[in-house]
Amino acid sequence: MRDISRRGLLELGVGAAAALGTVAGCSSGSGPAGGPGPKQVDPAAKPAAKARLLGDGSTADAGKQPHQPPKPEPLEPGQKPPQFVIFSWDGAGEVGNGLFPRFLKLAREHDAKMTFFLSGIYLLPESKKEVYEPPNNPVGASDIGYLTDGHIRTTLTCLRQAWLEGHEVGTHFNGHFCSGSGSVAHWTPADWESEIEQAVSFVTRWRTHTGFTDLEPLPFDYRKELVGARTPCLLGQDNLLPTAAKLGWRYDASSAGGQQVWPGKKHGIWDLPLQQMPFPGHSFEVLSMDYNILANQSKNTTRGASYNYPAWRKQATEAYIAGFDRAYETNRAPFFVGNHFEEWNGGIYMDAVEEAFKYMADDKRRDVRVVSFRQFVDWLDVQSPAVLKKLRRLDVGEKWSAKAD
């Protein structure tokens, strides 16, 4: 068994808001959503002609989400499963670096879907931070920065576009507390319930909090849309799950150190952990998230020596591809990749994940499905327990065969 690195096993949120400057924005509408290719898009899915406003008008019920895959079907006996790949983004704020629209465009070009785990306070102006009452922390406290008003506006536009193009909006909660007595590691189920309710309120009452009247509402009912999450620093899952189950959530993506095997459930909820993947040049493996690769390259800084950037970018790209190839060529376990809209180490991790994404989404691999977490659990939920049990028997790197299935 491989030696697993002890460095960088936990995702660290260091995404402070950028200073107010030129705001790189998403388009105001849904934009082109990619052709209705055979892998993903249901061509019959269209947004409702008229959305029904909810609450203060921050959100609206626009009906069935457009650009969803056809209704999933159970595998036939002996049928090889597709290779699922899920790219997700923690925080999901657009702070003027153009990364949110960059990856929406990439997904559109490849008819792919992603999950955006929104930090709720990214829709709350800092001038209203006293509205936020984080468990076991001072009122208004946060270990990540509040966004400028301009960046809140752009984030809202990107979120609207993302949903209309078929992507999922989950939650990364709010203040991202990872250390000390107020850490999410120590929160109770009641603390999580409070944090979730506040995250939902920041999404559903952004118009009241910001005073913006010239932006269109988010076109979804967030209380219905929200079915999964990733906790800050991958901490606190044990006490989150009872609350998640109570709220009817369908999955949680907060576990650390998962293996590339087919998932199971905890508390009746699909447990979808970030996974250990091969790390070229090392005997240990690395967690499938940009920050964890960084932690093994530039250690405790997000601005390492620039002369290392080309080699680090290549290593990060090859790590993602090696993780994908191992699953694709053997047990077909879903591959989960976590990211942040950050320019750490000169933006090399954004370049690496884009290059790896293009490799995985190549049209020549017709059995690859780049989907959101929600779409993936839709597929899991229609499979027979017997089929899933057999898939879960396959170890890391153990080849699938029709006979074994």
Q: Which amino acid is at 391?
A: L
What tokens were used for 186?
């120590």
pLDDT of 404 = 59
Q: Tens digit of pLDDT for each residue in 371-381?
A: 999 999 999 99
Determine, yes or no, domain membership for 57: no
Count the Cβ atoms, other than its own, within 10 Å of residue 246.
Answer: 12
Determine, yes or no, domain membership for 158: yes
Q: Which amino acid is at 50?
A: K
Determine, yes or no, domain membership for 58: no
pLDDT of 22 = 34
Please tell me the total count of domains within the chain. Answer: 1
Give per-10-residue mean pLDDT for the chain (405 aa): 34 34 44 34 46 96 96 94 98 97 98 98 98 98 97 98 98 97 97 98 98 97 98 97 98 93 97 97 97 96 97 98 98 98 98 98 93 98 96 97 72
Determine, yes or no, domain membership for 52: no
Burial class from Cβ neighbours inside 10 Å (0-12, 13-18, 19+) for residue 78 reads exposed
Sequential DSSP letters for 156-216? HHHHHHHHHTT-EEEE--SS---SSTT-GGG--HHHHHHHHHHHHHHHHTHHHHH---SSP
pTM: 0.90
pLDDT of 300 = 87
Question: How many angstroms separate the first and last alpha carbons of the chain?
Answer: 25
Rounded Cα gap, residues 53 and 180, in angstroms: 41
Determine, yes or no, domain membership for 23: no
Determine, yes or no, domain membership for 47: no
Rounded Cα gap, residues 368 and 360, in angstroms: 7
Determine, yes or no, domain membership for 35: no
CATH code (residue 145): 3.20.20.370
Q: Detail the DSSP E strand segments found in 312-367.
A: 335-340
pLDDT of 107 = 98
Rounded Cα gap, residues 84 and 326, in angstroms: 13
Range of the domain at 245: 84-392
Determine, yes or no, domain membership for 353: yes
